[in-house]
Structure 1
Amino acid sequence: MRVLHFSPHAASPTFNGPLIITKGGTYSGSWESRDSEVPAVEVRTSEPVIIEDSKIRGAGFLIRSQGYGADITVRNTTGHGLPPTPYSDYAKPRRFLAVDVFRNVVVENCYLEKTAGIYLGVEYTGNGSPGQSIKIRYNKVRNITGEVYQGKELVQFVQFNYRGEVPHAEIAWNEVINEPGASAVEDNINIYNSRGTTDSPIRIHNNYIQGAFPNPLHLTEYSGGGILTDSPGTDSLEATAYVKVYENQLVGLGNYCLGIAGGNHIEMHHNQAVVAAQFPDGEPYHFWTSGIWAKDYYKTGNTFNNSMHHNTLAVLGRNRDWRNEIFDSTFAAADEFANSILPDSITRRLEDAEFILWQEKLRDQRINIGPVSTI
């Protein structure tokens, strides 16, 4: 059953105005909002909603659901950010999908450009089955940016910030490329006070993540990077836990590649990081770079039983020095790691080789990323 509610807000000739969905069903179309205060698509139902074979553009949230215990699947859909407009109350970054309170979220085979990525927050209310979980897979992403009207927010390709344990959750086989000066991303993937389960940890694997830079680009300080578990919560049942990060490729990132800022029962293994710390024009990065770090950053006592092992690091610092070291102030962060690439071999050519390797992996696994239908 399809129930379409169109807003009178003006839209371009090839796009309809904003859409409000109040009934479950399958929806396909082209929608946009040129007002940062109005989502391009808003889901106001707990019934299962599928958005597929669609085009969505927005100056604020592209797809939004708030407080409905949502069950949303988005597939074969493109999302583009439009120039942001003034906002009231709080900033509305151009999240491709922002959901507060959910039972099930699936984002597969989508293309995102100049958006603020995917945010899942507040609370998981599902039953713990594979059909009520989180799947973010096979997406192609370009230039994550937190741009809002006259400013910017800290945004990610994916951030989890929910309460409750989610089994069967997966972030996998995504291609994320951020260009210097054209993107404004914090951590590309951030797991914040969010949990998997003992038997079914959150799995973050086989993603290709390239680029993480300060914005404006001339800044020398930058706090973002690659994949981070973050956990300032003081409640042991709230802290980030049960996460596995493996077989990811991390290329050309500023600040760090893999990090544990808090949480427990986290394992990061068999990832590969290659950072030549050099812009396309040959200029070296003017901000910090490093491979792996791990510590109880918030000193809440909830950081334990973590490991980093068998990760391959080829990371140069901003001064062309060796930055493969693993920072550890609280526990054995790395049981073992490979360090077989000499510093003078870490060049942009080596970074380029990582993308070729990624394409070979996709072919070998017969995986198509981005929309698989003509839209």
Structure 2
Amino acid sequence: MLHEPTYSSRLASSSYDGPLVITRGGTYSGNWESRDSDVPAVDIRTAEPVVIINSSIRGAGVLIQSLLYGADITVLHTEGYGLPPTPYTDYEKPRRFLAVDEFKNVVVEHCYMEETAGIYLGVQYTGNSSPEQTVKIQYNKVRDINGQIHDGKYRVQFVQFNYRGELPYAEIAWNEVINRPGLSAVEDNINIYNSRGTPSSPIRIHNNYIQGAFPYPLHLKTYSGGGIISDSPAADSLTATAYLKVYENHLVGLGNYCLAIAGGNNIEMHHNRAIVAATFDDGEPYHFWTSGIWAKDYYKMHTTYNNSIHHNTLAVLGETRTWRNEIADSTFVAAAEYDNFVLPDSVTKQLEQQEYRLWQEKLRRNHIKIGPQRDR
């Protein structure tokens, strides 16, 4: 029987081995944990293809890590849980589900993540630019992205790209991400930072459901995170974020912004839906900024151009619920095409709940199941 895992049930029913170090390619299944933030639960030290499948991993620091190996990693039908962080040495170590620097291929599909710090891909893409050496992050179920570290908080995302090199065939799709106020500590849910697709094969971010983005601790009145952002302070248009398509995503109940271009070129955002009632479940209004879409050359590097934002559907209440704030700080320099639809309906929590029902119906209609699909 298939079912969604819960943290409490996994703690009660599973035994875990200590940290695992992988030095050769192959397929690995098991339960591994690390209660030390300095030690990854699974440390991959090989360039050979590694597949982790039907596993459960938990950690006080990084759950799955590969540094300086030109990694080829596939993670399938695997659960990941954050444990209480411990003191760390040298640098902050948030509880990334997967942290990779040099890589040639990364696939994360049908996984479940709870209280982790998401997926980080940095430094360098070293693959051969074929469909077999790319990035696919698909069909995952995610709860409460959390950047807590010992005595502090690190800025983390569900997914951050921060690599150099053009990467074709990359895709972030059909993921369900739900962050709860006071229980999550997420910055941008998806951040594409100085990372690039190609003219013929842009990075595709589509058909994701992203709910919740809040300050942590929750009482803070300022918050710099949000939904999906193209971000790039690069002074060179050949290294700035570029060739990105963001479409058919659902963005619900987010603080600060839903979609944004803070830098980059040749970016298209279309047919997304942003629904924000700016209200907590108890009826209290958000006490921090909210907006639907913005686009501008935030860093003033003149590498932000040839962008298009069109056919998005917006229903976004502003801070304190006294005004609507679907479009903010937008300039036609940053987005040459800007043509979107604002729902005339009143923006309520019921409208947010309806959006989740639309998402579930979309999954059924496309015969897609998310999260681990394995018998227990």
Band of TM-score, shorter chain: over 0.9
- Residue number in structure 2 paired with 1:327: 329
Cα deviations across residues 235-254 of structure 1 (Å, max 9, x unaligned)? 22211000000000000000
The answer to whether residue 340 in structure 2 is matched with residue 340 in structure 1 is no
Partners of 1:334 and 1:36 lie apart in 2 by 46
C-alpha deviations, 1:1-25, integer Å up to 9, x for none?
xxxxxxxxxxx97100000000000
Deviation at 1:363, TM superposition (A): 0.3
Q: CA RMSD in A?
A: 1.1
Q: Work out the CA distance in 1 between the residues paired with 2:359 and 2:338.
A: 26
Q: Which stretches in structure 2 are left out of the alignment for 5+ residues? A: 1-12
Between the aligned partners of 1:270 and 1:27, the Cα distance in structure 2 is 39
Question: How many residues were matched structurally?
Answer: 362
Q: Per the alignment, do residues 308 and 183 of structure 1 end up closer, same or farther by CA in structure 2, a change over 3 Å counting?
A: same
| Counterpart-to-counterpart distance in 2, 1:294 and 1:163 | 23
Q: Which residue of 2 aligns with 1:271?
A: 272
| CA deviation map 1:209-262 (0-9, x unaligned) | 000000000000000000000001122221100000000000000000000000
**Cα deviation 1:169-201 (Å, max 9, x = unaligned):** 000000000000000000000000000000000
- Paired position in structure 2 for 1:186: 187
Distance 1:41 1:325 in 2: 43
Map Cα deviations across residues 233-292 of structure 1 (whole Å, 9 max, x no partner): 122221100000000000000000000000000000000000000001000000000000
Find the counterpart in structure 2 of residue 63 from structure 1.
64
Question: Structure 1 length as normaliser, TM-score?
Answer: 0.95
Deviation readout 1:41-66 (Å, 9 max, x if unpaired) = 00000000000000000000000000
Aligned to 2:52: 51
User: Equivalents in 2 of 1:362, 1:249: separation in Å?
Assistant: 12
Question: What does residue range 61-140 of structure 1 map to in structure 2 within 5 Å?
Answer: 61-140=62-141
Query: Are the aligned partners of 2:60 and 2:82 in contact in 1 as well (CA < 8 Å)?
Result: yes
Among all aligned residue pairs of Structure 1 and Structure 2, give the percentage whose two residues are the same amino acid.
Answer: 70
The CA distance in 2 between the partners of 1:332 and 1:69, in whole Å, is: 35
**Counterpart amino acid of 1:168?**
Y
Instruction: Work out whether residues 231 and 264 of structure 2, in 8 Å CA contact, stay in contact via their aligned partners in 1.
Output: yes
| Rounded Cα–Cα distance in structure 2 between residues aligned with 1:331 and 1:168 | 25
CA pair 198-284 structure 1, distance change in 2 beyond 3 A = same
Secondary structure (helix, strand or coil) at the match of 1:327 reads coil
Q: Secondary structure of the residue that 1:67 maps to in structure 2?
A: coil
Question: Pairwise mapping of residues 153-172 of structure 1 onto structure 2 (< 5 A)?
Answer: 153-172=154-173
Offset of residue 324 of structure 1: 1.3
Alpha-carbon distance in structure 2 between the residues aligned to 1:39 and 1:237:
34
Is 1:233 the equivalent of 2:226?
no
Give the 3-state SS of the residue equivalent to 1:129 in structure 2.
Answer: coil
Amino acid at match of 2:329: F
Alignment deviations for residues 296-328 of structure 1 (CA, whole Å, 9 cap, x no partner): 001111100001000000000112111112432
User: Structure 2 counterpart of 1:229, which letter?
Assistant: S
In structure 1, the gaps of 5 or more residues are 1-11
Residue of structure 1 in register with 2:219 after alignment:
218
Letter in 2 for 1:372: Q
Structure 2 CA distance, aligned partners of 1:360 and 1:136? 21
Q: TM-score, normalised by structure 2?
A: 0.95
